Amino acid sequence: MGTTHEVCIQLTRHASNRAQQRGIKNSTIGLVLAYADVELHAGEGFISLFMSRTNIKKLIRKGIPAALLEKSHGVVLLINSAGTSIVSVMHGGGKDGKRHRRQYPTRKYVQ
Q: State mean pLDDT over 23-51.
A: 89
Residue 39 confidence (pLDDT):
87
Q: How confident is the model at residue 81 (pLDDT cuts 50, 70, 90)?
A: confident
Q: Is 12 exposed, middle or buried (0-12, 13-18, 19+ CB in 10 A)?
A: middle
Residue 88 confidence (pLDDT):
92
Rounded percentage of the chain residues whose pLDDT exceeds 70: 77
Residue 26 confidence (pLDDT):
92
Q: How far is CA 103 from the centre of its chain?
A: 14
Q: How many CB atoms within 10 Å of residue 75?
A: 24
More confident residue, 80 or 44: 80
Specify the 3-state DSSP secondary structure of 94. helix
